[in-house]
Chains A and B, each alone.
Chain A
Amino acid sequence: MSEFASGTLTAKNIHLSFGSNHVLRGIDLHVEKGTTASVIGPSGSGKSTLLRVMNRLIEPDQGDILLDGRSVLKDNPDELRRRIGMVFQQFNLFPHKTVAENISLALRKLRGMSKEQARDEALAQLDLVGLKHKADSRPANLSGGQQQRVAIARALAMKPEVMFFDEATSALDPELVKGVLALMTDLAQGGMTMVVVTHEMGFSRNVSDIVTFMDAGVVVESGPPEQLFTNPQTERLQGFLSDVL
Chain B
Amino acid sequence: MDILNQLANTFFDWKAMGEVIPKMFAVGLPNTIVLAVVSGVIGTALGMLLALMGISRNAAARWVARIYTDILRGLPPVLTILVIGFGFGPIIRELTGSTSPYPMAIAALSLMSGAYIGEIFRSGIQSVDKGQLEATRALGFSYGSSMRLVVVPQGIRRVLPALVNQFIALIKESSLVFMLGLLATEREIFQIGKDAAANSGNLSPYVAAAIFYLALTIPLTHFVNFIDARMRAGRPEKKEPDEAAALVGKGAQA
Contacts of A132 in B (CB 8 A): none
**A-contacting residues, B114-167, CB 8 Å:** 129, 131-132, 134-142, 145, 149-150, 153-154, 157
Cα–Cα, bound, A105→B249 (Å): 33
Contacts of B149 in A (CB 8 A): 105, 109
| Known A78-B141, A140-B234; further 16 A-B contacts with Cβ < 8 A | A57-B137, A81-B139, A82-B140, A84-B138, A86-B135, A90-B131, A95-B154, A106-B139, A109-B145, A110-B139, A110-B141, A141-B237, A143-B245, A155-B139, A175-B245, A175-B248
Quote the shortest CB–CB distance from B64 to chain A (angstroms).
28
A145 within 8 A of B: yes
Contacts of B153 in A (CB 8 A): 96
Quick check: A154 and B139 within 8 Å, CB to CB?
Answer: yes
Cα–Cα, bound, A109→B146 (Å): 11
B97 within 8 A of A: no
Quick check: A145 and B245 within 8 Å, CB to CB?
Answer: yes
A241 within 8 A of B: no
Q: Which of B140, B149, B235, B242 has the most C-beta atoms of chain A within 10 angstroms of its own C-beta?
A: B140
Quote the shortest CB–CB distance from B148 to chain A (angstroms).
10
Contacts of B132 in A (CB 8 A): 92, 94
Quote the shortest CB–CB distance from B124 to chain A (angstroms).
12
Quick check: A145 and B244 within 8 Å, CB to CB?
Answer: yes
Q: Which residue of A lies closest to B237 (CB)?
A: A141
A79 within 8 A of B: yes
Q: Which residue of A lies closest to B135 (CB)?
A: A92
- 25 CB contacts below 8 A, A to B, read A81-B137, A84-B138, A92-B131, A92-B134, A92-B135, A93-B135, A106-B140, A106-B141, A110-B139, A130-B243, A142-B239, A143-B240, A143-B241, A144-B242, A145-B242, A145-B244, A155-B138, A175-B242, A175-B248, A175-B250, A176-B245, A178-B248, A179-B243, A179-B245, A182-B244
Q: List B residues at the A interface (Cβ < 8 Å).
A: 129, 131-132, 134-142, 145, 149-150, 153-154, 157, 234-235, 237-245, 248-250
Q: List A residues at the B interface (Cβ < 8 Å).
A: 55, 57, 78-79, 81-82, 84-86, 88, 90, 92-96, 105-106, 109-110, 130, 137-138, 140-146, 151, 154-155, 158, 173, 175-176, 178-179, 182
Known A88-B134, A141-B239; contact A79-B244, beta-carbon cutoff 8 A: no
Q: Which of B129, B135, B248, B250 has the most C-beta atoms of chain A within 10 angstroms of its own C-beta?
A: B135
Q: Which residue of A lies closest to B246 (CB)?
A: A175
Quick check: B138 and A55 within 8 Å, CB to CB?
Answer: yes
Quick check: B138 and A81 within 8 Å, CB to CB?
Answer: yes
Quote the shortest CB–CB distance from A73 to chain B (angstroms).
16
Contacts of A94 in B (CB 8 A): 132, 135-136, 150, 154
Known A176-B244, A178-B244; contact A96-B139, beta-carbon cutoff 8 A: no
Cα–Cα, bound, A105→B140 (Å): 11
Quick check: B245 and A158 within 8 Å, CB to CB?
Answer: no
Quick check: A179 and B239 within 8 Å, CB to CB?
Answer: no
Known A109-B141, A175-B249, A178-B248; contact A146-B134, beta-carbon cutoff 8 A: no
Contacts of A175 in B (CB 8 A): 242, 244-245, 248-250
Quick check: B140 and A110 within 8 Å, CB to CB?
Answer: yes
Listed from nearest, the 4 A-B pairs whose CB atoms lie closest are: A179-B244, A82-B140, A92-B135, A175-B249
Contacts of B129 in A (CB 8 A): 90, 92
Q: Which residue of A lies closest to B158 (CB)?
A: A96
Contacts of B250 in A (CB 8 A): 175
Contacts of B241 in A (CB 8 A): 143
Q: Which residue of B lies closest to A146 (CB)?
A: B242
Quick check: A78 and B237 within 8 Å, CB to CB?
Answer: no
Cα–Cα, bound, A136→B140 (Å): 24
Contacts of A93 in B (CB 8 A): 135
Quick check: B131 and A88 within 8 Å, CB to CB?
Answer: yes
Q: Which residue of B lies closest to A154 (CB)?
A: B139
